[in-house]
Amino acid sequence: GAVVSQHPSWVICKSGTSVKIECRSLDFQATTMFWYRQFPKQSLMLMATSNEGSKATYEQGVEKDKFLINHASLTLSTLTVTSAHPEDSSFYICSARGSLAKNIQYFGAGTRLSVL
C-alpha cells in the first residue's frame, strides 16, 4: 500500500515554542493533504485541508495563525504549531490523497505532541 511518512513521531517542547511536523507521501503524488488532531479516547477531528500550491482550508474553530500549514509540493506538507501551550498537547495525524488510487486517503503514523 501507499506510504505516508510523518515526522517526528513524538515531540516534547516548552510552552511558547513552535513545533513543525512534516508529512511526506513516499510513493505517490499527494494532491490533497489533511491534518487531523485526536485527543485520548476521542474521534478524529479534521483541522484543515490543503491542496498543493494553495492555501489551506481550515475547519471552523481552528486558528489558522496558530496552526500554519504549508503544502509546497506534491509530496510534502508541514504543520507548524506556533507558540504551543499545554492545551495543544495531542496526537496530530496527517493524511494524503492523490494519484495512486480512487479517493483513498492514506494516513501517516502520527505525531504525539506534549507541551510542558
Partner 1 sequence: QKEVEQNSGPLSVPEGAIASLNCTYSDRGSQSFFWYRQYSGKSPELIMSIYSNGDKEDGRFTAQLNKASQYVSLLIRDSQPSDSATYLCAVLPLSGGYNKLIFGAGTRLAVHP
Q: Given the rule CB under 8 A, which residues bind partner 1?
A: 1, 32, 34, 43-44, 46, 49, 91, 93, 101-110
C-beta of 89: minimal distance to partner 1 in Å?
A: 14
C-beta of 62: minimal distance to partner 1 in Å?
A: 13
- State which residue, 1 or 86, has the beta carbon closest to partner 1: 1
C-beta of 5: minimal distance to partner 1 in Å?
A: 12
DSSP one-letter string for the chain: ---EEEE-SEEEE-TT--EEEEEEESSS--SEEEEEEE-TTS--EEEEEEETTSPPEEPTT--TTTEEEEEEETTEEEEEE-S--GGG-EEEEEEEE-SSSTT--EE---EEEEE-
- State which residue, 14 or 41, has the beta carbon closest to partner 1: 41
- State which residue, 78 or 111, has the beta carbon closest to partner 1: 111
φ, ψ (nearest 5 deg) of residue 3: -115, 130
- State which residue, 36 or 81, has the beta carbon closest to partner 1: 36
Q: What is the residue whose three cell numbers read 495512486?
A: 100
C-beta of 72: minimal distance to partner 1 in Å?
A: 20
